[in-house]
Structure 1
Amino acid sequence: MTLTRRHFTTALGASLALAGAGPSRAGETIKLSYQRSSTLLTVLKTKGTLETRLGAREFGVSWHLFSKVLEPMNTGVVDLHADVADAVPIFTQSAKAPLTFYAMEAGSPHAEAIVVPEESAIRSIADLKGRTVGVSKGSGCHFILAAALKRAGLSFADIKPAYLEAPDGVAAFDQGSLDAWAIWDPFLAIVQAKRPIRVLADATGLSSYNRYYTVNDSFAAAHPEIVEIVYAALVEAGQWVKANPREAVALLAPIWGDLPPEVVATVNERRSYAVKPVDRAALSEQQSIADTFHEAGLIPRRLDATDVRIWQPVASRG
C-alpha cells in the first residue's frame, strides 16, 4: 500500500483565490472544506447529499480538500470548514478567526495516540526525552503530546518535535526518521496495519477527542437555514455509518487511498460519529487544552475557551 502526498492535498492557492467572497445567495456556490479524517463530510460528498438538498434551494456546492486546516479556517476562504479535533479551535480562537461552532462529534479517545515501533527501546512517555517525535502542529495530537509530556514531568523543550503533516508523517515513521509519532485515525490505523507498533498513550485521561464543526460568522448570520441543513445531514451521516458498517467501509476505502477494508473498519469502530449541538458548558475540556498550550508557549495569551460563538439547531433552542 503506497500513500503519497498527492492523495492528501489540494491546491491551496486556488482555494485562497476564493477569499473575500461574501455570504452566498441563491444561485451561488457554497464552499465546504474537508480533510481525510472528515469521515462524515466525505460520506456526504460522495453521496451528493448536500448537492441534492442545497440544490433544491438553488445553491451550488463546491468541495475543497486540505491537509493543513488552520490557514483556511483563519482566513475564511470557504464557508463551512472541515471538522477538526478539539485542539485546533484553540489556535483559531487565539488567531481571532471569525468562526462559529455549529456542531460537535462526541468523543473518541482511542482514535489518536502516541506510538513507537514495536522493536523500539522506548517504553514510556518519559523515555521520549531527547527523542524526535513527529506531530502535526495545531492538531489534537499536538495537545495529546503536550499533555502526556507534562504528565510525565517533561515539556516540549525535552524532546525534538518534528512538525509534519500526517501524510508526511507516514513516510517519516516508515523510514525510521522518527523515534515516536503522535497521530490520529485514519493514519493511526494505517500504520498499525503496516507494521507492529506500541502505543505509549492514547487520549484516554487526557482528552475526549471531541471533533468540532465551524462555519464563518458572516455565513452563519446570513444563512442559518443552510447551516441547519448541513447539521441535519451530518447527524444522519453519522447514524448511517454506524448502522451500515460494511457499506460505510466500501464507500470510504477507495477514497482513502484504497485502504484495506479492515483498516477502514478499525477507524469507524473507534470513532463515535455521534453529531450533536455544541454545549457551551461542555467546552470546559477545551480550557485544559488552552491552558496547556499557553504554558507550553504554543499560543501567546491565555484564552477563555468557552468564549466562542455557537449556533444551535432549531430543535435545541429554548
Structure 2
Amino acid sequence: MSPTHPTPSRRRFLRQSSLFLGGVALAGTVNACSTESTPQATAPATTAAAPATASAGGSKAIRVGYQKSSTILNLLKNQKRLEDRFKGESVNISFNEFAAGPQMLEALNVGSIDLAYTGETPPVFAQAADAPLLYIAWEDVGPLAEALLVQQDSPIQSVAELKGKKVALNKGSNVHYLLVKALEEAGLQYSDIETAYLPPGDARPAFEQKNVDAWVIWDPFQAAAEKQLGARILRDGKGIVQNRGFYLATKSFVEGNPDLVTGLLEELEAVSTFAKDNPPEVSKFLSNELGIPTDVLDLVETRRGYGIQPITPEVVAYQQDVADVFYNLQLIPKQIDVSTVIWTK
C-alpha cells in the first residue's frame, strides 16, 4: 500500500480516527484534557445540554456523554432502554456525542453532562485537575484489547530490544500505562526509549511508513493494524495491566439522584449482557456506525470483556497505582487519593 496514495478503505479508516480518541488526557487541566500537546481532538460532535440536572416543571434528566466507539453506551442509546425504563417518571434522557473522552471529562467537569465513560487513565488526570467526579462502575475491557505492535518484518522480537528505539503512543492514555509496565517487565526504564506522542490517526501512517519502530495502541486500531497491515503483537497487556473501562458521574448527579444511578446501572448491565451474547450483531451495528470493516470488529469482540461491576477495593488500589505511576512520570501535577472519589451506595 502506497503511503502517499492511501486506498479508499484506509482513508475511511483514518477519517474515523477522531471517534476513537477517548481514554486519554493531558495533565494539569480538564480543559486541556487531550492526550497530546499537539491538537488531536475536535469539538463535541453535538452540543452538550445545559448544566442543570432538573429541567423545567420539576422533571429530572440524565445527560449521557458518549462516543460512537463506546459499545455499551452506543447500544444503550440505540435500544432506547433508558427511555423505556423511566417512561412516565418525567425523566428527560439525552445523549451527547463527543469525538473523544477528554471532551467528555471537560463537559462533566463543568456540569454539562451527568455521565461519561473512559478508560483507566482519564479519571486520574481529571481528579488531579479537581474535577467533581465519582467512579460509579467499571467493566473489564480486557488486557488483550491493547498491545505493543511492531511491523510484520521488524527484526525486533522482544520488548527489551526496544532500547533506543522510537515508540508511537497516545500520551496519557491506557496504552501509556501499558508501555510503562511492559518496559518495567523487560528491565528497561521509560527513558531507554524514544517516545513519539501521536494520536491514532497520525500514529498509523507513521507506523505503516516505518517512521517509528513500534506502536502501542488499543482496539479497534490494534485489530485494524493486525488485519490490514499484518502488524505483529510484541506484547499485549496480559499479566501486566487490567485495561478497565469506567463509568463516571458528577458528584451532584449521584448525590441528588441515587434512584436514577441505580436504574442506569441496571440498564447498562442489561445492554452489556446483550452485547456479550450477540457479538456478530454488535460487530455489524458498530460497523454501520463507524465505517470500520466487520472482520476488524469481529476480532475486537473476541478479546474484549463485558459486565458492569461495582468499584471494589482491589479496583481502587489498581487505579491508585496508575495515578502514582503518572505522578512519578510528572504527567499529573499532584498526587491524588483515588479512594476519595468512589461512589458507595
- TM-score bucket (shorter structure): 0.7 to 0.9
* CA shift in 2, pair 1:273/1:66, >3 Å: same
Question: For structure 1, which segment, 135-144 or 274-283, has the greater mean C-alpha deviation from structure 2 after superposition?
Answer: 274-283
Question: For structure 1, which segment, 39-48 or 28-37, has the greater mean C-alpha deviation from structure 2 after superposition?
Answer: 28-37
Q: Normalising by structure 2, what TM-score?
A: 0.80
In structure 2, distance between residues paired with 1:54 and 1:176:
52
Structure 1 SS opposite 2:95: strand
Partner of 1:315: none
**Runs of at least 5 residues in structure 2 that lack an aligned partner in the other structure:** 1-8, 20-40
**Runs of at least 5 residues in structure 1 that lack an aligned partner in the other structure:** 313-318
Q: Deviations over 1:127-165 (max 9, x none)?
A: 223333222222111111122223333333333322233
Partner of 2:5: none
Partner of 1:103: 137
Deviation at 1:275, TM superposition (A): 0.9
* CA shift in 2, pair 1:11/1:311, >3 Å: farther
Partner of 1:306: 339
Pairing 1:290–2:323 present: yes
* Contact 2:224–2:296, Cα closer than 8 Å, also in 1: yes
Partner of 2:186: 152
Partner of 1:165: 199
* CA shift in 2, pair 1:116/1:82, >3 Å: farther
Pairing 1:239–2:273 present: yes
Deviation at 1:114, TM superposition (A): 0.9
Which of residues 43, 51, 60 in structure 2 aligns to 1:12?
43
Pairing 1:82–2:113 present: no
Pairing 1:23–2:56 present: no
Partner of 2:102: 70
Deviation at 1:290, TM superposition (A): 1.9
* Contact 2:115–2:248, Cα closer than 8 Å, also in 1: yes
In structure 1, distance between residues paired with 2:261 and 2:142:
24
Q: Deviations over 1:39-75 (max 9, x none)?
A: 1111112222223334543333332333432343143
* Contact 1:207–1:285, Cα closer than 8 Å, also in 2: no
Pairing 1:58–2:90 present: yes
* Contact 2:165–2:194, Cα closer than 8 Å, also in 1: yes
Partner of 2:222: 188
Which of residues 65, 70, 75 in structure 2 aligns to 1:43?
75
In structure 1, distance between residues paired with 2:247 and 2:259:
16
In structure 1, distance between residues paired with 2:60 and 2:82:
14
Structure 2 SS opposite 1:102: strand
Deviation at 1:79, TM superposition (A): 2.5
Deviation at 1:261, TM superposition (A): 2.2
Structure 1 SS opposite 2:154: coil
Aligned alpha-carbon RMSD (Å): 2.6
* CA shift in 2, pair 1:217/1:189, >3 Å: same
Letter aligned with residue 12 of structure 1: A
* CA shift in 2, pair 1:302/1:36, >3 Å: same
Structure 2 SS opposite 1:286: helix
* CA shift in 2, pair 1:81/1:138, >3 Å: farther
Pairing 1:3–2:13 present: yes
In structure 1, distance between residues paired with 2:155 and 2:250:
46
Q: Deviations over 1:286-318 (max 9, x none)?
A: 222122222222223333333323144xxxxxx
Structure 2 SS opposite 1:3: helix
Letter aligned with residue 156 of structure 2: I
* CA shift in 2, pair 1:14/1:249, >3 Å: closer
Q: Normalising by structure 1, what TM-score?
A: 0.86
In structure 2, distance between residues paired with 1:132 and 1:18:
42
* CA shift in 2, pair 1:190/1:302, >3 Å: same
* Contact 1:16–1:77, Cα closer than 8 Å, also in 2: no
Letter aligned with residue 98 of structure 2: F
Letter aligned with residue 39 of structure 1: T
Percent identical residues: 33
In structure 1, distance between residues paired with 2:65 and 2:309:
20
